[in-house]
């Protein structure tokens, strides 16, 4: 293959979503970074929120002030109908970090990409990795671009390609999935978002899964909102596959249905179905490479931590790369150990949430969660009798 020029860099990051772009902007101030992505512009997503704890990460990345100037909506808290008929509320205004943010996801991704470029990262999109080899402690890559293939030599390779973990799988890593959860979602406009709904997300369980709705930064002169139904892939066809069926079913819910009526929701935007199950990459790092964001481990959206995890792993992964590049660290073993800790905490939290809903024990969706998240039985010790012995 004839290539058009060669690039030598310290780090190649494959994927310029939140994790990849955040890692790029952290590393670019001290190292040569090439950030590549298949898409020139970010895709429209379901809609994402950042919990208050993300404020510390954004501050450490030295982007907090610029990010807040982007004007995303305040995320004031969560309401839920879960395990019963009473509405529970968690108010973020009592959080020491203050409120979080309901994001315009494409705008957030463009902000992170632009910041990485401003700090010195090279950005290639649309571009894809077509060839990967490791030779004498370096990565030798071929990157396909609109201008033709480019040879790239790098010391470290970061997989930020999302759930597919396409780079890590090329070097022998394997992704294991937990469950078949999918989300069927749609966007729409609202006539009003007042004190009863503005800034709050809502989660509500039902027999075949659970629902989510939250405000979004407006793309029209009116407000915007997302609705998402989460169920298992094999149950979706009988529940609500197309947007009209999703909306019709949502309107029957006591909590989310009342919210949609209150705000005057009307479907007027993108819709789709996407994977939402947990997934784990093993291993998450190796010689000269590591995975971050969804490539490392994907979170069930019930945890509300998917985007926070993207930024957290980006920050920690970038710092691990810096230590290796500067000779402070020999490998990424400490990063991998930290991700095990994160994963265990996530699994405990998810089990707590799912086992709290017990109203439909015989439905396929909830019986599967009960089996998956059932607490482990304590090991019983065989009873042993001891005879007194003369001494």
DSSP letters spanning 254-269: TTHHHHHHHHT-EEEE
Q: What letters, b where the CB count within 10 A reaches 16 and e where it falls short, cover 88-104?
A: eeeebeeeeeebbbbbb
Closest C-alpha to 228, from 252, 202, 254: 202
Kindly indicate the confidence band of residue 2, based on its pLDDT and cuts at 50, 70 and 90: very low
* Average pLDDT over all residues of the chain: 90
**28 in Cβ contact with 120 (< 8 Å):** yes
Average pLDDT on 263-285 reads: 92
Residues with Cβ within 8 Å of residue 3, at least 6 apart in sequence: 142, 148, 149, 150, 151
Beta bridge partners of 181: 232
The pLDDT assigned to 221 comes to 59
173's tokens: 């890593």
Per-residue model confidence as pLDDT tens digits over 16-43: 999 999 999 999 999 999 999 999 998 8
**56 in Cβ contact with 98 (< 8 Å):** no
Structure pTM?
A: 0.91
Per-residue model confidence as pLDDT tens digits over 313-333: 999 999 999 999 999 988 999
Give the pairing of strands 77-81 and 209-216. unpaired
The yes-or-no verdict on residue 374 having pLDDT over 80 is no
Per-residue model confidence as pLDDT tens digits over 337-359: 999 999 999 999 999 999 999 99
Question: What are the distances in angstroms from CA 275 to CA 156, 181, 212, 255?
Answer: 29, 6, 15, 25
Kindly indicate the confidence band of residue 385, based on its pLDDT and cuts at 50, 70 and 90: very low
Kindly indicate the confidence band of residue 1, based on its pLDDT and cuts at 50, 70 and 90: very low
In CATH terms, the fold of domain 6-76+101-179+277-349 is: FAD/NAD(P)-binding domain (3.50.50)
């Amino acid at each position: 293959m004839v290539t058009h020029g060669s690039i030598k860099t310290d780090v190649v990051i494959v994927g310029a979503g939140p994790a990849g772009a955040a890692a790029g902007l952290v590393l670019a101030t001290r190292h040569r970074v090439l950030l590549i992505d298949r898409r020139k512009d970010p895709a429209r997503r379901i809609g994402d929120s950042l919990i208050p704890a993300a404020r510390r990460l954004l501050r450490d990345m030295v982007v907090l002030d610029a990010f807040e100037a982007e004007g995303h909506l305040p995320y004031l808290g969560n309401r839920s109908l879960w395990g019963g008929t009473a509405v529970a509320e968690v108010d973020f205004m009592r959080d020491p970090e203050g409120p979080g943010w309901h994001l315009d996801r494409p705008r957030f991704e463009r902000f992170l990409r632009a910041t990485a470029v401003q700090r010195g990262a090279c950005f290639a999109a649309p571009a894809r990795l077509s060839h990967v080899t490791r030779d004498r402690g370096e990565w030798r890559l071929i990157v396909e671009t609109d201008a033709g293939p480019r040879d790239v030599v790098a010391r470290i390779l970061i997989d930020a390609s999302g759930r597919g973990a396409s780079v890590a799988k090329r070097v022998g890593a394997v992704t294991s999935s937990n469950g078949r959860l999918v989300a069927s979602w749609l966007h729409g406009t609202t006539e009003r978002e007042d004190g009863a709904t503005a800034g709050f997300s809502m989660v509500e369980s039902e027999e075949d899964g659970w629902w989510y709705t939250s405000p979004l930064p407006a793309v029209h002169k009116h407000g915007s909102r997302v609705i998402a139904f989460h169920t298992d892939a094999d149950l979706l066809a009988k529940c609500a596959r197309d947007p009209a069926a999703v909306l019709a079913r949502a309107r029957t819910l006591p909590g989310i249905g009342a919210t949609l009526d209150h705000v005057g929701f009307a479907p007027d935007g993108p819709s789709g179905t996407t994977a939402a199950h947990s997934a784990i990459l093993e291993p998450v790092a190796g010689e000269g490479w590591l995975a971050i964001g969804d490539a490392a481990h994907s979170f069930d959206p019930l945890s509300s931590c998917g985007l926070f995890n993207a930024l957290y792993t980006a920050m920690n992964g970038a710092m691990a790369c810096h230590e290796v590049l500067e000779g402070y660290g020999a490998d990424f073993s400490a990063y991998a150990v930290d991700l095990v800790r994160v994963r265990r905490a996530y699994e405990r939290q998810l089990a707590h949430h799912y086992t709290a809903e017990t109203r439909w024990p015989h439905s396929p969706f909830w019986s599967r969660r009960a089996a998956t998240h059932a607490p482990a039985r304590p090991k019983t010790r065989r009873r042993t009798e001891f005879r007194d012995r003369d001494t």
